[in-house]
Amino acid sequence: MRLAISFRTIDWPSFSARMSRSPARLAASIGKLLLSGGLIGYLLYHYGPDYARLESIDPVLCMMAMAMFVLQIALNTIRWRLILTYLTGTKLPYYRIFAIYYASTFFSQILPSVGGDLVRVLYRRIINSTFTSMAVSVLLDRGVAIASLLFIALSAASFLAPFDPDHTVIRWVVFVAGSGLSAAYGGCLMLRALRHSRIWMSIPKWTRTLVVSGAWSISSPTGLCCLIPLSAVVHLLSFATIYLAAHAVQVPLTFLVVFAIGPVLVLAHVFPISIGGWGVREAAAVALLGMTGVDATSALLVSIMFGVLLMLATLPGALFWLVLKE
């Protein structure tokens, strides 16, 4: 089994040079860093952790949570491999895709926003893929994951009712999830009408590839029967991990509560405005768990525990990165 690739093949220096020449990207990265650091600092200052609970963390539950994170990466790799097979027409070796995905997950925790996704694109030559195919595959992989999360959010909205008597959060969840899914599937219907028009042929080829592939990923039999359900299982594992992280620090959440707030919490975690979800996820946890009667200190501790366990579970990705770049 050989995963090695030349360090020069990835062309990291030119990539770094392009990034450094972009003041807007640099400013955005600094802004995300400040947002994450500012929110974490504010929350810790006002709702500092209960150190007594830190001394009695359950290591078995922590190990179970980390194992679930690894299982998520394995399932996400299957999803991405299916998308790559559709785009390239070649069934790529699972172990190579898994190594790349694990490395990208590690970088997602330490780089701003979509840094981990860019890592996947940069490794295109190790699987003999084009830049366009890799970029489109990463966008589709993210899109399918978000679409399945919106489906779950709609399904779980009713479970928020006991904790949201004014239905303020429920209305926002239904609006965001409903609008997102309506736009996605409405676009699939529009695609059928435009496929043979002059407007369609005037669109750049890479854009057509993205649109057609996107419609396939969420409306084809493979998308509806495999990609979406697989992504839903991954999200349910995230909810289970939140549950385990809470009980590891003696915060007795029920799975019903986790299922009710989980979709919004995961959406806050993946929203690309911070570093690895830090800060935004904690603020969302304090607000959402506060609705269910959990005090802010406990809610903050649960979210931080979730983030720490995720970082520990993704550390092997650094080893994969070292092997991949030789």
**Highest mean pLDDT (candidates 43-52, 119-128, 188-197, 213-222):** 213-222
Residue 254 three-state SS: coil
Judge whether 152 and 176 are in contact, CB under 8 Å.
no
Q: What is the pLDDT of residues 146-161, one digit of tens each?
A: 999 999 999 998 898 8
Query: What is the average per-residue pLDDT within 205-209?
Result: 83
- Is residue 130 scored above 80 in pLDDT? yes
Rounded Cα distance between 50 and 2, Å, is: 46
Q: State the average pLDDT over residues 122-133.
A: 84
Q: How confident is the model at residue 325 (pLDDT cuts 50, 70, 90)?
A: low
Average pLDDT of 244-255?
93
**Encoding tokens for residue 129?**
């893929």
pLDDT in tens, 77-105: 999 999 999 998 888 889 989 999 999 99
Amino acid, res. 105 = T
The model's pTM: 0.87
Q: pLDDT higher for 272 or 112?
A: 272
Give the chain's mean pLDDT: 86
Given this model, what pLDDT does residue 220 score?
A: 92
Q: Is the pLDDT of residue 13 over 70?
A: no
Residue 275 phi/psi, 5-degree rounding, is -95, 110
Confidence of residue 50 (pLDDT cuts 50, 70, 90): low
Measured CA to CA, the distance from residue 225 to residue 43 in angstroms comes to 41
Residue 204: which pLDDT band, with cuts at 50, 70 and 90?
Answer: confident
pLDDT higher for 86 or 14? 86
Position 7 pLDDT exceeds 50:
no
Portion of the chain with pLDDT greater than 70, in percent: 90
**Is 70 exceeded by the pLDDT of residue 17?**
no
Residue 195 has pLDDT above 50, yes or no: yes
pLDDT at 205: 82
> Residue 126 corresponds to which tokens in the numbers above?
């190790």
Cβ distance 120 to 104 under 8 Å? yes
Sequence-ordered list of residues with C-beta below 8 angstroms from that of 138, at least 6 positions apart, any chain: 80, 117, 120, 121
In this predicted model, which residue has the larger pLDDT, 9 or 303? 303
Structure confidence at residue 20 (pLDDT): 44
How much is the pLDDT for 113?
Answer: 59
Domain ranges of the chain: 33-325
Instruction: Name the percent of the chain in helix, strand, coil, to the closest 5.
Output: 80, 0, 20
